[in-house]
């Protein structure tokens, strides 16, 4: 396992981290992901630590806090060996104070997360969504309070648009408040929208990417193929509406090449898909998930080797799609292209 600086910070994170969406799973979404209890979670943490995975990511909305509780129990007695990342800001109820990142709610939800996790600090606290109803200065000031109180070490964002992230960074600089050093984003071979605006922003501003759903919401596991019915036990039957949309022609074209490269490298389809992501600019860590030990071991096999340049080029080509405005001129027109140094395929 290799370690990378998280954005422009001094925090070193493993190139793979473990997501805890399956921990304590309940409800129509998280219950489908998995129902990992404390003992099984402790075993997954054991395997992760043995492989050098030290970062564990959660969120307060994962099964109404149950994922944080199970994670806290699973790392009990070895807190100093792990980094805990969690997210706050999404609705946790129906009341007017049950959503957003106002000062009062942000401090309260962070203290609730600390209690569930059974720890005195969160290594990385991320805003799970941009709260347009709260002044960004108020949110940043609350984060500063949490950092000064020692309850939070680093701060980040998740699922922000480019202008939302840049507004937060500029305000933090102007007010001398903590900057977001991480942006947790969706990014995969069948979802490369991150590259158009957020990746260049991250490189320019020193914000590292933590990648969620690197297998395209379960579509790049090797179980979904052209002309083959979706497996009966696939969670895609019940959860596809929650995740990012993927065009079937893109999916099947990418999967065909993944199978070719899996045969060439002696690796599995998921391992090839994750390995491609680890070579992308600004990516600090790819968050993997697992319902079973076997799934975790397979995903951990995505590191310790590298696709060669020709194999990467094939994946770049098959997954490439037309850029949206205003980015496509930088691909199509020579004058624009000369102004835009190449960053991605």
Just list the catalytic residues: 62
Distance separating alpha carbons of residues 125 and 43, to the nearest angstrom: 25
Residue 238 CB coordination number (10 Å): 12
Q: How far is CA 286 from CA 83, 132, 271, 300, in A?
A: 15, 28, 12, 11
Q: CA 67, 73, 79: angle at the middle one, nearest 5?
A: 110
Rg for the chain, CA atoms, rounded? 20
Helical packing angle, 103-117 and 66-74, nearest 10°: 40
DSSP state of 191: B
DSSP state of 10: S
Distance separating alpha carbons of residues 257 and 151, to the nearest angstrom: 46
């Amino acid at each position: 396992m290799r370690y990378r600086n998280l954005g422009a910070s001094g925090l070193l994170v493993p190139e793979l981290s473990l997501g805890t969406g399956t921990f304590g799973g309940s409800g129509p979404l998280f219950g489908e992901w998995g129902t990992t209890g404390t003992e099984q979670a402790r075993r997954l943490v054991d395997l992760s630590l043995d492989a050098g995975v030290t970062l564990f990511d959660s969120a307060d909305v994962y099964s109404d806090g149950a994922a944080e509780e199970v994670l806290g129990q699973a790392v009990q007695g070895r807190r100093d060996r792990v980094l805990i990342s969690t997210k706050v800001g999404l609705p946790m109820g129906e009341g007017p104070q049950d959503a957003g990142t106002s000062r009062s709610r942000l401090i309260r939800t962070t203290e609730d997360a600390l209690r569930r996790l059974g720890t005195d600090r969160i290594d990385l606290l991320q805003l799970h969504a941009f709260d347009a109803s709260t002044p960004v200065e108020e949110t940043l000031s609350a984060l500063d309070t949490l950092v000064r109180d020692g309850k939070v070490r680093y701060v980040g964002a998740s699922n922000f648009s480019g202008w939302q992230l840049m507004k937060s960074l500029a305000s933090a600089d102007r007010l001398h408040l903590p900057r977001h050093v991480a942006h947790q984003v969706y990014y995969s071979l069948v979802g490369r929208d991150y590259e158009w605006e957020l990746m260049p922003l991250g490189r320019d501003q020193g914000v590292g990417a933590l990648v969620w759903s690197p297998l395209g919401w379960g579509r790049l596991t090797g179980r979904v193929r052209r002309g083959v019915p979706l497996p009966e036990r696939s969670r895609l039957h019940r959860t596809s509406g929650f995740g990012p949309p993927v065009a079937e022609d893109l999916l099947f074209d990418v999967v065909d090449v993944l199978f070719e490269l899996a045969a060439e490298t002696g690796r599995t389809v998921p391992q090839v898909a994750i390995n491609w992501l680890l070579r992308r600019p600004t990516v600090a860590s790819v968050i993997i998930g697992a319902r079973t030990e076997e799934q975790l071991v397979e995903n951990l096999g995505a590191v310790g080797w590298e696709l060669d340049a020709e194999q990467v080029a094939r994946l770049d080509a098959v997954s490439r799609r037309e850029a949206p405005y205003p980015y496509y001129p930088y691909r199509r027109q020579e004058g624009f292209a000369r102004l835009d140094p190449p960053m991605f395929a």
